[in-house]
């Protein structure tokens, strides 16, 4: 059928099983072809095609709320709810979001982007429906990586003990989150899946056995499970546990969901799926390379976008710096499920006893890091800026308040482009500025990244080095040498008329602007965002009447308000303008993000001209 003609999922209920299976094949081909052009979350979506069709076949969205944990696995849901025609704009500026989006469809009822929220949200929907006197089913689809988060267990605990509310939780078990899953629950799920021979036998029986024979087989299996296997964690928490079932079998999933719909108690359906199903290189991927992809070659699976020669991502620079640092000292990395994203695979291969992956558990990671640091261990905790927010209380109470030395690598700080509003790394500066004792830094290039990282490990305070989702010049054959630095700003260019203050990628932008305008101005690299270099700031304020502060960060609590506060205290009367983010920034390219935030080179030039017009 023509997928772009789909308006809503109601048509599914009129299709035969064969037609539903054909639809699944068409959707899978459509996803592979479209994502190869736009990029997006590939493997996670290919694995849940049948499962999502079955959900819409059995239940009635939006009357029955569908809650997708994270939301990056909802592409089939988007197609079935009338958005196939928009897939050429996926993750493009003002185009289709790569996640659930309230503004796109009445079927998008829960917008998160961060893992582990779906079961809590389901509890909220159930209670709200009760209070409004409405009757419906609420379905949460959560991955085996997300279910390990503490928030998921908080919600599982409450719903399982509540006889007045029935929720349906579909556990999408593909043995992967972004990277390989870790921890005891992962082992429990592996145990529940059983061995491959039994799994294949079950699938064969599904296909060739008459229905009554297969029902007898299932009853016998339950008897044997009850006899030989202790209750699993979900049954212990009060749920009816169904599974493991083949999540890529349309027939099985429809039968299972219909069974769950009839039950009176809350249900956990353990659906085993194949991540990347239908695209061989994604099926074979065990590192997480094809979880989220840039545009790629349909024939080979190779990414079209290549890192340009002589450059590397800041993530890789920091990872290489950590490897070099081992020649001076022993460090330990606490990694919250981002081994691939933070480019620490090489570090782990060289020092497997110096890194632990704790899974999607930022709060646990922060407190664990604090305890290790209190025992004298040099701990490095890499977090995407957007995920650092999840551990605010633990960082504040267990690290900042007690002035405990933990080194934070805040990755993807600033604009993140096509990941959109839930993943923008714009709030960490304000977050860390609100905490006592924390030093906040940001390098402008690879050499500065090496030196700031080493400087942090030489101190006895909580230390943040934030770095963007961007590339920088980097010669892997001739790595930067560690040099001692002082906690001072640096002067990139000296002039008399105006002072331009920035940090990170903003420094090179200030250089471009100054060159284009021919400014006789000073450019300050404020690489130590907190505490401020007051000596340099005083000098700048005394010698320059006009100042502009540029930050790719949310304006509240960032560097600019701190400078204003200092100026008021010291009675400075300079003409000063701050440029920072003041609103929610959605998906698009990095340049699109800058345009939306009014932080492009053209905006800077306009702001500088405005300062010169000030009398």
pLDDT, tens digit, 9 for 90 and up, residues 277-299? 999 889 888 778 888 888 998 88
The pTM score is 0.88
Q: Residue 205 pLDDT > 70, yes or no?
A: no
DSSP code, position 145: T
With 0-12 / 13-18 / 19 or more C-beta atoms within 10 angstroms meaning exposed / middle / buried, residue 540 is buried
174 vs 251, which has greater pLDDT? 251
Query: What pLDDT score does 596 carry?
Result: 96
Which secondary-structure segment (H or E) carries 579?
strand 575-581
Q: Residue 11 pLDDT > 60, yes or no?
A: yes
Confidence of residue 423 (pLDDT cuts 50, 70, 90): very high
Query: What pLDDT score does 195 carry?
Result: 52
Architecture of the domain defined by 490-613: 3-Layer(aba) Sandwich (3.40)
The whole-angstrom separation of Cα 122 and Cα 141 is 10
| Catalytic-residue membership of 390 | yes
The whole-angstrom separation of Cα 28 and Cα 50 is 10
Query: What pLDDT score does 283 carry?
Result: 86
Active-site choice (362, 363, 551, 552):
362
- Flag the least confident range among 216-220, 336-340, 538-542, 573-577: 216-220
Active-site choice (78, 91, 166, 275):
275
Query: What pLDDT score does 82 carry?
Result: 96
Task: Name the percent of the chain lying above pLDDT 90.
Answer: 81
Question: What dotted CATH number matches 311-473?
Answer: 3.40.50.970
Query: What pLDDT score does 613 carry?
Result: 81
DSSP codes joined into one string, 343-409: T-HHHHHH-GGGEEE--S-HHHHHHHHHHHHHTT--EEEEEEHHHHGGGHHHIIIIIITTT--EEEE
> Same CATH topology for 311-473 and 490-613?
yes
Query: What pLDDT score does 288 carry?
Result: 80
Confidence of residue 208 (pLDDT cuts 50, 70, 90): low
Query: What pLDDT score does 501 carry?
Result: 98
In the chain, domain spans:
3-293, 311-473, 490-613
Tell me: the pLDDT tens digits for 461-497? 999 999 999 999 999 999 999 999 999 999 999 999 8
Neighbouring-strand partners of residue 141? 68, 170
Q: Reduced to 3 states, what is the DSSP secondary structure of residue 499? A: strand
| Catalytic-residue membership of 21 | no
Tell me: the pLDDT tens digits for 261-271? 999 999 999 99
| Catalytic-residue membership of 200 | no
Confidence of residue 228 (pLDDT cuts 50, 70, 90): very low
**What is the mean pLDDT of the segment spanning 502-515?**
97
Question: What dotted CATH number matches 3-293?
Answer: 3.40.50.970
CB burial of 74-94 (b: ≥16 within 10 Å; e: otherwise) equals bbbbbbbbbbbebbeebbbbe
Query: What pLDDT score does 232 carry?
Result: 81
The whole-angstrom separation of Cα 2 and Cα 362 is 43
As a whole number of angstroms, the longest Cα–Cα distance in the chain is 89
Active-site choice (78, 390, 444, 454):
390
User: Please, what is the average pLDDT of the chain?
Assistant: 91
């Amino acid at each position: 059928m023509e997928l772009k003609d789909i308006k809503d999922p109601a048509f599914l209920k009129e299709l035969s099983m064969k037609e539903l299976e054909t639809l699944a094949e068409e959707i899978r081909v459509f996803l592979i072809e479209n994502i190869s052009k736009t990029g997006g979350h590939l493997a996670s979506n290919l694995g849940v095609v049948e499962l999502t069709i079955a959900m819409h076949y059995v239940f009635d969205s939006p009357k029955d709320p569908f809650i997708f944990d994270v939301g990056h696995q909802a592409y089939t849901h988007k197609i079935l709810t009338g958005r196939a025609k928009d897939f050429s704009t996926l993750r493009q500026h003002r185009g289709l979001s790569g996640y659930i989006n309230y503004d796109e469809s009445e079927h998008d009822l829960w917008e998160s982007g961060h893992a582990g929220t779906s079961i809590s949200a389901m509890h909220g929907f159930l209670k709200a429906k009760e209070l409004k006197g409405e009757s419906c089913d609420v379905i949460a689809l959560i991955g085996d990586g997300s279910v390990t988060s503490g928030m998921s267990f908080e919600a599982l605990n409450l719903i399982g003990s509540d006889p007045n509310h029935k929720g349906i939780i579909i556990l999408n078990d593909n043995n992967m989150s972004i990277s390989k899953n870790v921890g005891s629950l992962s082992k429990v799920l592996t145990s529940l899946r059983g061995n491959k021979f039994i799994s294949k036998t079950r699938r064969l029986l599904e296909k060739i056995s008459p229905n009554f024979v297969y029902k007898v087989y299932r009853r016998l299996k339950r008897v044997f499970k009850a006899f030989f296997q202790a209750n699993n964690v979900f049954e212990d928490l009060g749920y009816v546990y169904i599974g493991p079932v083949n999540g890529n079998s349309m027939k099985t999933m429809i039968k299972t969901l219909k069974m769950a719909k009839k039950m009176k108690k809350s249900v956990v359906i353990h659906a085993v799926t194949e991540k990347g199903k239908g695209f061989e290189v994604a099926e074979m991927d065990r590192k997480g390379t094809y979880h989220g992809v840039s545009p790629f070659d349909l024939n080979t699976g190779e990414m079209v976008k290549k890192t340009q020669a002589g450059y590397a991502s800041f993530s890789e620079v920091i990872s290489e710096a950590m490897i070099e640092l081992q020649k001076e000292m022993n460090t330990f990395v606490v990694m919250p499920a981002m081994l691939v994203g933070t480019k620490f695979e090489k570090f782990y291969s060289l020092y497997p006893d110096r890194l632990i992956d704790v899974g999607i558990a930022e709060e646990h990671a922060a407190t664990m890091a604090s305890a290790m640091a209190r025992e004298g261990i040099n701990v490095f905790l890499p977090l995407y800026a957007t995920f650092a927010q999840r551990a605010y209380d633990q960082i504040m109470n267990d690290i900042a308040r007690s002035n405990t030395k933990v080194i934070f690598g805040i990755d993807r700080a600033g604009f993140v482009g096509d990941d959109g509003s839930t993943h923008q790394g714009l709030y960490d500066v304000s977050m860390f500025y609100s905490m006592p004792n924390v030093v906040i830094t940001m390098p402008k290039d690879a050499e500065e990244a090496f030196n700031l990282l080493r400087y942090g490990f030489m101190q006895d305070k909580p230390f943040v080095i934030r770095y963007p989702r961007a590339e920088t010049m980097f010669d892997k054959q001739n790595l930067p040498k560690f040099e001692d630095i002082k906690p001072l700003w640096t002067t990139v260019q000296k002039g008399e008329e105006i002072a331009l203050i920035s940090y990170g990628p903003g420094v090179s932008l200030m250089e471009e602007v100054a060159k284009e305008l021919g400014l006789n101005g000073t450019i300050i690299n404020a690489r130590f965002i907190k505490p401020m270099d007051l000596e340099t700031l005083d000098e700048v304020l005394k010698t320059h009447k006009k100042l502009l502060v540029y930050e790719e960060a949310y304006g509240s609590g960032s560097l600019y308000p701190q400078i204003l506060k200092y100026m008021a205290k010291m009675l400075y009367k300079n003409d000063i303008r701050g440029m920072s983010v003041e609103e929610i920034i959605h998906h698009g390219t990095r340049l699109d993000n800058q345009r939306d935030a009014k932080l492009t080179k053209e905006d800077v030039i306009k702001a500088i001209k405005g300062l010169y017009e000030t009398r």
